[in-house]
A and B are shown apart, each in its own frame.
Chain A
Amino acid sequence: MKMKTILAAGAMSVAAIAANNAHAGAVLDGIKAKGFVQCGVNTGVPGFSAANAEGKWEGIDVDVCRAISAAVLGDANKVQYTPMTAAQRFTALQSGEIDILSRNTTATLTRDAKLGLTFVGINYYDGQGFMVPKALGVKNVSELDGATICVEPGTTTELNMADYFRAKGMSFQPVVIENINETTAAFFAGRCDVYTTDASGLASVRQTMAPNPDDYVILPEIISKEPLGPSVAQGDDQWADVARWAMFAMLEAEEYGVTSENVDEMKKSESPAIQRLLGVSPGMGEALGLDEEWAYRIIKQVGNYGESFKVNVTDKLGLERGINALWTNGGLQYAWPVR
């Protein structure tokens, strides 16, 4: 009797694990079942993802997760955040610990093809820069020969820097600390001459963590392309579609002038493009496996891309749109049409 119970329990648990094997749509079904989106974010880069004084997560990376949650679950606040270091992020996504990684992550060939990730879009076009204390008197990167440089491990930044210094025939001494807060603390304590990361990250760190922001300068050179965007695990295309179009919906809304303020009036708009976006003329939501109000909720609860950018990046860090302007304004942000 006892033996039979044990065997039955064993068989059941094996069956349960086997049933867990992913199939297309599994992530979306899982999210609907558990009732929240598990979102991997940075441990703290104000403007992108950081917890505010009340412990609420804010930033343009956070808004991507909020948009998806609004589209899928009807409520932008049904997101659980997992702060992760650069070194942890991909493993967490591969193993299914998080549903989406929205952590100012550069899209590269290796990551897209070899790490089992699918980048669903670019929410911030960036490039790598260098920050130094003003007292050092350095005016540009070519004067940095022999410098000690603080950098986060497992980043494209770490590789770009090695490439750049090698190409210029200069030497450097890296100081590599896993947690960004420890890294910046080491830099401000004088452990390194230079801190390097994406230019937006430098602005964020200088603005929010420096004892006195005016004591530090960001050097003019940008040494790399860093297209930053959210990614999902490969193997579930439907989920990747939902994430991609949640981002595009925010861009489309900005392009058509739909904001969180006027979205209700815009439902009466005569423009076919706006009618499609807001679900007045149906079909788009169904195609994604969602209801027709998906984009309406994103815009209503999170806002369009321009609103998110202004609140999080321009107001907090003082960074202008630059190349992140819409294509209609000469920038790179260009959504595929919702139709």
Chain B
Amino acid sequence: MSKTQNTPGGVRSKTVADYLNDENIRAIIYQIVAIGLVVLAGWYLVSNTLANLERQNISTGYGFLNLEASFGISESMIDYTPQSNYATALMVGFLNTVKVAFLGIILCTIIGTIFGVARLSSNWIVRKLATVYVETFRNIPVLLQLFFWYAIIPGAFPAARNAFQPLPDVLLTNRGMYIPVPVADNAYDFMGIAAIIAFIVIYFVKKWASKRLDATGQPFPIVWASLGIFFGLALLAYLVGGAPTAMDIPALKGFNIQGGYNISPEFMSVLIGLTIYTSTYVAEVVRSGIQAVPNGQWEAAESLGLKRSIALRKIILPQSMRVAIPPLTNQYLNLTKNSSLAVAVGYPDLVSISNTTMNQTGQAIEAISIYMAVYLGLSLITSLFMNWFNKKMALVER
């Protein structure tokens, strides 16, 4: 349309050739052709798959989810028996994946930050040790590390009959670690409620404290106050609930140790393997984040008379966070996705249970579509959260 030609005798009516030579119209035609090809390819793949399945007499659909799974699962956060259906079995796998990914993300952040700061330490030994740690575990494939831990854990600890007791009532065996847990009681429900109340109170105290800091310049010991509120309320709830002391203590009974909470070797292998592997990347992210903050910031803080520790906490880390959060998000996503390697060491994660399901039912495409959707969902949620966090941490100009 931009190339409409004006002739001296008036506006010439446009011919088909004019339209075809129009850049904008051409662009639209190309786009339509491109979309058409993509749709065609997709349709071809889907119809071909369906035809092949039909030819081989393989049934399709998600109806199998209601059938009885009839296989056992070693660890589950919800009630599961072989009589449960496949949907429940997949849910067990999903929760196990979330459990290991969630704990892994928290632990790798803590360990990674420690090693990242240590790599910048002025102490030669600390600095070199951190470098060796990072370079070793970063450069060994994570699957091999899982195999390594899974070979070590059942191999290094004694059989259930002569379990090793590092602490009273904590048992270490080749079946994993057993720790005593309190027997369920109302008091623990009260403590849960108290914790939620504590978080709300802390939120308001924090708001008040920062307002006071802005107004008067007087700092408030918010960390100590928060800890006090949290534990104080929890203790109060515990006492109100009647201070129960009954514990479920693990002990040898029959073949195995019964009672207590069991942390299986499979879970330990996956958690340790993923945490250590990812923590090396987190360490590098943290180090680069700190180094990205210009030295002038340190000097400026010093000239204002701030202590080095306060300068690190209030000036340097908040700025390095801005650099660190996007690559950190990548590492969290990697950890979540790498957790699918758990299948190799027998941890019943989503992939492991999906594999069993597809094998028993033959619904390969359906089972894979479910776990692909779940991993995509988990990754999107993680990155949405991190994007929100990133925005919150970003420089707010006043």
Contacts and interface: CB of A to CB of B under 8 A. Distances in A.
Contacts of A233: 56
Interface in B65-89: 70-74, 82-83
B345 interface: yes
A21 B53 CA distance: 12
A22 B57 CA distance: 14
B53 A154 contact: no
Interface string A225-237: 0000000011100
Contacts of B73: 174, 176
Interface stretch (A140-148, A203-211, A264-272, A319-327): A140-148
B58 interface: yes
Contact of A148 (B256, B359, B360): B256
Interface in A288-331: none
B256 A147 contact: yes
A335 interface: no
A233 B52 CA distance: 11
Interface size grouping (class) on chain A: 35 or more
A324 B44 CA distance: 48
Given A159-B360, A234-B57, A174 B352 contact: no
Contacts of B82: 162-163, 166
A158 B83 CA distance: 13
Q: Which of B72, B266, B352, B356 has the most CB of A within 10 A?
A: B72
Contact of A166 (B83, B159, B346, B359): B83
B154 A21 contact: no
Given A148-B175, A191-B154, A178 B343 contact: yes
B57 A116 contact: yes
A199 B335 CA distance: 40
B346 A175 contact: yes
Interface in A1-48: 10, 14, 17, 21-22
A10 B37 contact: yes
A98 interface: no
A94 interface: yes
Given A182-B346, A191-B154, A158 B266 contact: no
A172 B72 contact: yes
Given A158-B72, A191-B265, A148 B56 contact: no
B344 interface: yes
A182 B360 contact: no
Contacts of B12: none
A190 B154 contact: yes
Interface residues of B, number: 47
A94 to B, nearest CB: 6
A219 interface: no
B346 A186 contact: yes
Contact of B56 (A163, A189, A234): A234
Interface string B147-190: 10011001100010000000000000011000000000000000
A172 B266 CA distance: 17
A144 B254 CA distance: 9
Contact of B356 (A10, A146, A158): A158
A159 B70 contact: yes
Contacts of A279: none
A179 interface: yes
A90 B56 CA distance: 12
Contact of A94 (B58, B83, B361): B58
Contacts of A10: 37
Interface centre among A147, A176, A179 (most CB of B within 10 A): A176
Given A116-B57, A182-B344, A91 B256 contact: no
A146 B254 contact: yes
Contact of A190 (B53, B151, B174): B174
A52 interface: no
Contacts of A87: 355-356, 358-359
A17 B352 contact: no
Contacts of A21: 48, 51-52
A176 B346 contact: yes
Contacts of A114: 57-59, 361-362
B72 A161 contact: yes
A158 B69 CA distance: 11
Interface in A152-172: 153-155, 158-159, 161-163, 166, 172
A177 interface: yes
Nearest to A10: B37
B3 interface: no
Given A87-B356, A91-B358, A148-B175, A178 B74 contact: no
Given A146-B255, A162-B71, A163-B70, A153 B356 contact: yes
A1 to B, nearest CB: 16
A336 B365 CA distance: 37
Interface in A98-120: 110-111, 113-116
Given A116-B362, A174-B74, A191 B175 contact: yes
A86 B359 CA distance: 8
B360 A154 contact: yes
B362 A115 contact: yes
A190 B154 CA distance: 7
Given A114-B58, A172-B72, A178 B352 contact: yes
A63 B40 CA distance: 45
A173 interface: yes
Counting chain A CB atoms within 10 Å of each CB, the highest count among B48, B82, B348, B352 belongs to B82
Contacts of A185: 151
Contacts of A136: 255
10 contacts: A91-B364, A116-B56, A116-B362, A153-B355, A161-B72, A176-B72, A176-B348, A178-B352, A182-B345, A189-B155
Given A90-B362, A116-B56, A159-B360, 20 more contacts: A17-B48, A87-B355, A90-B359, A91-B364, A116-B362, A144-B255, A146-B255, A147-B255, A153-B355, A162-B71, A163-B70, A166-B82, A174-B73, A174-B74, A177-B344, A177-B346, A178-B352, A186-B346, A234-B57, A235-B56
Closest 9 CB pairs of A and B: A154-B359, A116-B56, A115-B362, A177-B346, A162-B82, A116-B58, A174-B72, A191-B154, A87-B355
